[in-house]
Structure 1
């Protein structure tokens, strides 16, 4: 069961050790999600399967991760996050390493599923530990580093796999074995340092909603919609900005690629700005609203006005930076709205909106481009962000009303 008490204000060096442990596991989680795609051309030749079938490996891993997060969140809240974090990280890593010995592609698919099961532990366990272990004065920076390490994992996976298989000439089996076994020392470090990872305090009131009623409350459903719509907008930009600029303004490929790079760099770096702000100021919703409104304006500008090639990357950099900076205050808002002792299920449920948004977005945006509606892409991105703000405002208002309601009787 979770520990009964959490430290009031841990020392800074202890906080950063915790952030380092959790962030390293989160890096691996995102790294493993993207380490298979660079091997598709090799697997297509070796196993004789189509790209559609190869895509199943990533799709299954992502789907299992998304579907497993909420059930794992219930277990994290009931039994504590630490054993699930250790077990999930080990399963995830050994599944990737095990692919090195796969005699055929169907074994790789099965291991992709087991890796997804391990990966489903990461978000609910990470947020439960960070929310209970980190001092409030550094909570924003802790969440920001958590997001940043995940983004770095995404960025590093194609680069490292390409380096190992192409530049260094290692076979794909050796490459997967090596990156999979990277998880073993990470797990060992978590086990050895587990004493500094604090589980959630038990709820001190009786009669408060628990379990499904919490997740089905208006507050959490609106936060879920906020995450979902934000993810849909982000995936729309990342996947189709280059094609949209080409169709709309005949933007050269190198300029369009640099524009997308500017967006990604801004979104990654902006996370740290949001963490700094969240630790110093309490007006999180105002900050999120202002930055999202700025991003909306810039996306509409890129979609409606033919900007010079020298200007486009800068506009995308600011738009991405604004959205990135809004992410950490958003996470802190969810943390404050989560009932005591239920952070695992809350973050497991709400963060599942991120992969779900990524799954449902590509087809409709692709259809717009296929049917000569490229002019709609960036306005639809803007509309999704506007809707996400309405959901965020509704969630915040409901959370404030709940906080002002009479408290249930203390638990005996």
Structure 2
């Protein structure tokens, strides 16, 4: 049987540019506040705990609202929510430029989190419906890449702006950038396709039944556990390497940068693979086990200092490459017309993992058990694989049941 010709690559590139720019901004806005903490501490007379609350509010609201927003995206379409979310993020960040006190910063951070909660469910619903299937892996990879890029450039950009202007001017400029981006998406929205609605006679589970089903809960657990492992490395690798091996802060920091850079580059490798093979699960298993082995080695084997950044980069590369096939598998497990709620719910495991990891791992270090941090992170990765394998099997069985026509 002849295959349908692929959609023009120029159209897919325009879609990715629009969605990727919005995703870049959402991540940029999440990390544009920490560089202002020193200024705000003097300006508003607040503690570092109170300053951290602004970022915590943005992340927590984003995580909590992703799932209900996903229901709305599936019901009413993704495009209006995407445009509205980007406008809300931009306006609230710009509004901080006029904050009379820190209480206003907190209120605006909360509202910015509301806008940010739209991004993942809306983006994946649009990409899954608009991008040619032969390029889906690379599209998901570029989506992840633009988000990581937003995280990476936010601190140095804001810090650089503070050298030449007041913090209020900087936030006003950065926030207002979101408005033309939203209007560009609105102007080009005709090329952004919403999900096809399932036929009325299709047997579809309710939203609650779907999200509480075994495959989706296992996918959530996989995202959560892998995020916990990555967050532990990001938060404590510099401290642990110093305590275990006396690694200088500069070398340990370079190793962490290598891990982060490898993860970002790896997403592109994973996207390339996902479009050229259907053997996603073996790819994920091999790379995750390889990454876990390298992280374990960093925690139990003394290495020459020059090797640490190299090993960390390769571990990050393996982890990053496994992410895109994971996203493609989740798309394939989503029933027609329900990608918004599925991706909204499952991807909430990523910020949740980052939120719950620092305290218990910090306790390990406080108790003199720093040597357990890297092995525990490796163990979380292996545990995540068990969830992923079970999720894939359960998803295949569920799709087989849905494929059986009702009598």
CA contact (8 A) 1:300 1:379 kept: yes
Structure 2 residue aligned with 1:195:
190
TM-score, length-normalised on structure 1?
Answer: 0.96
1:58 to 2:61 alignment: no
User: Which residue of the other structure, out of 214, 223, 239, is the alignment partner of 1:218?
Assistant: 214
CA contact (8 A) 1:90 1:187 kept: yes
Structure 2 residue aligned with 1:3:
none
- Superposed, 1:126-205 pairs within 5 Å as 126-166=123-163, 168=164, 170-204=165-199, 205=201
C-alpha distance in 2 between matches for 1:106 and 1:410: 56
TM-score, length-normalised on structure 2?
Answer: 0.97
C-alpha distance in 2 between matches for 1:350 and 1:8: 32
C-alpha distance in 2 between matches for 1:206 and 1:135: 24
CA contact (8 A) 2:203 2:402 kept: no
Q: CA shift at 1:8, angstroms? A: 8.4
C-alpha distance in 2 between matches for 1:63 and 1:363: 16
Q: CA shift at 1:207, angstroms? A: 2.5
What is the total number of aligned residue pairs between the two structures?
Answer: 403
Q: CA shift at 1:252, angstroms? A: 1.3
C-alpha distance in 2 between matches for 1:95 and 1:114: 7
Q: CA shift at 1:403, angstroms? A: 2.4
CA contact (8 A) 1:8 1:135 kept: no
The 3 A distance-change label for structure 1 pair 306 and 71 is same
User: Which ranges in structure 2 are unaligned for 5 or more consecutive residues?
Assistant: none
Structure 1 residue aligned with 2:268:
272
User: Which ranges in structure 1 are unaligned for 5 or more consecutive residues?
Assistant: 1-6
The 3 A distance-change label for structure 1 pair 260 and 406 is closer
- Superposed, 1:191-270 pairs within 5 Å as 191-204=186-199, 205-270=201-266
C-alpha distance in 1 between matches for 2:368 and 2:254: 24
User: Which residue of the other structure, out of 293, 308, 333, is the alignment partner of 2:289?
Assistant: 293
CA contact (8 A) 1:226 1:388 kept: yes
C-alpha distance in 2 between matches for 1:16 and 1:365: 42
| Residue-by-residue CA offset, 1:261-316 (whole Å, 9 max, x unaligned) | 11111001000000000000000011000000000110111111001111111111
1:376 to 2:407 alignment: no
Secondary structure of the residue aligned to 2:322 is helix
The farther-off stretch of 400-409 and 387-396 is 400-409
1:18 to 2:15 alignment: yes
Which aligned segments of 4 or more residues in structure 1 are displaced greater than 3 angstroms? 408-411
C-alpha distance in 1 between matches for 2:273 and 2:342: 23
Aligned-residue Cα RMSD (Å) equals: 1.3
C-alpha distance in 2 between matches for 1:27 and 1:376: 35
C-alpha distance in 2 between matches for 1:121 and 1:254: 38
Secondary structure of the residue aligned to 2:275 is helix
